[in-house]
Amino acid sequence: MKTLLAAVLFVGIAVLLLGVNIFFFHRPFPDGEISTNPEMRKRGIKCAKQEEMEMLARQKGKKLCDGNYSDACASCSLRH
């Protein structure tokens, strides 16, 4: 029982310390969405769906995905 209590206390303290900026200073949570994160776009990181659409477009003889696929993700519009 002591071990379980110690583990729960340790995990609680870890969550609290990891979330200090979010809980107490109300800073936004970091944006992890590839299609809307400008830093990922700047580094050339694309979502898997966009890369697959570009690959399919190249196979069909197009240069890049033109964003006209019905099931394409929002980042496929290539708005840079």
DSSP string, 31-79: P--TTT-HHHHHTT---HHHHHHHHHHHHTT-SS--S--TT--GGGG--
pLDDT digits (tens, 9 = 90+) for 24-52: 888 777 777 887 888 888 888 888 888 88
Average pLDDT, the chain: 78
In terms of Cβ atoms closer than 10 Å to its own Cβ (0-12, 13-18, 19+), residue 61 is exposed
Which among 76, 37, 80 is positioned nearest to 55, based on CA atoms?
A: 76
pTM value is: 0.40
